[in-house]
Amino acid sequence: MIAGGATRMARWWAITRLERTAVGSVLCEKWEECDSLDPTSWGYNRRLKGAEYMTPNEVVDYLVDIVSKNGNLLLNIGPRADGTIPEIMQKTLRQVGEWLRVNGEAIYGTRPWETYKDGDVRFTRKGNTLYAIALEWPEEDLRLTSLAGRAVEKVEMLGVDQAIRFKQDSRGLVIQPPAKRPCRYAYTFKLHIKGAVQ
C-alpha cells in the first residue's frame, strides 16, 4: 500500500522541466519553464543594470505564451546576501500581480486550445469559454482567423464593464476593442463559444 501510494505520487509529480527554452507548440503533457528575472544569473548579480532585467510586460507575455502551450512558469528572483529582494524585482512582481488581478481568470485553471496562437494573440480555455489574450493592444479591429467556422455567442474583455462589439464572417471573428485599456499589457477577450471548446 505504501509503495502504491508512492508510485501514484511519483507519477503525479512527474513533469518535464525546461530552463530558458523556447517551446514552439502545445505540448500534450504538462511542462514547466524555469527562468529568472535576471537573464545572466539565478542569484543576485549586483553588476546587472536595471534595464537588463526582464520587464513586467516581458514577464506577462512570457507567462501567457507558456500557459497557452500547456506550461507553467517558475520564475526565479535572486535575493541579495541579506535576503532582501531588489526593488526592481519587487516592482516587476507587483506589476505582474496587478495584471493577474484583472486577467488571472484566463491563466489559472485553464487548458490549451487546439491552437495556441493567432498572430500576436494567445489562447487558453476553460469549459466552453475561450480566452484570446492579445499581447499588444489592437489599435484597430482584431481579426482572429483561427475562429472561422466557430459560433461565438458573446465577447467580453476582462477588466471592462462595457459590451464588446464583434462580428463573424467566413474569414473568422472580428472584435472591436473598447476605447479604454483595462490594464498595462496583454489584454484578454473572453469568448463564449457555442458547443464544446476543446
Domain boundary assignment for the chain = 25-106, 117-193
Residue that is written with C-alpha cell 535576471 in the block: 38
Tell me the one-letter amino acid at 65. D
Note the pLDDT of residue 34. Answer: 94
Note the pLDDT of residue 2. Answer: 34
Note the pLDDT of residue 195. Answer: 76
End-to-end C-alpha distance for the chain, whole angstroms: 36
Condensed to tens digits (0 to 9), the pLDDT of residues 75-130 reads: 999 999 999 999 999 999 999 999 999 999 999 999 999 999 999 999 999 988 99
Q: Identify the segments of the chain with pLDDT beneath 70.
A: 1-13, 196, 198
144 closest CA partner among 184, 113, 105: 113
**What phi and psi, each to the nearest 5 degrees, are found at residue 140?**
-125, -175
39 closest CA partner among 49, 53, 56, 21: 53
**Residue 194, CB-side half-sphere exposure with 13 Å CA sphere:** 6
CB 166 within 8 A of CB 155: yes
CATH number 1.10.150.130 is the correct assignment for the domain at 117-193: no
Note the pLDDT of residue 11. Answer: 46
> Which residues have a Cβ under 8 Å from the Cβ of 59 and sit 6 or more positions away?
37, 75, 92, 96
Note the pLDDT of residue 6. Answer: 37
Tell me if the pTM is above 0.85: yes
168 closest CA partner among 190, 189, 145: 145
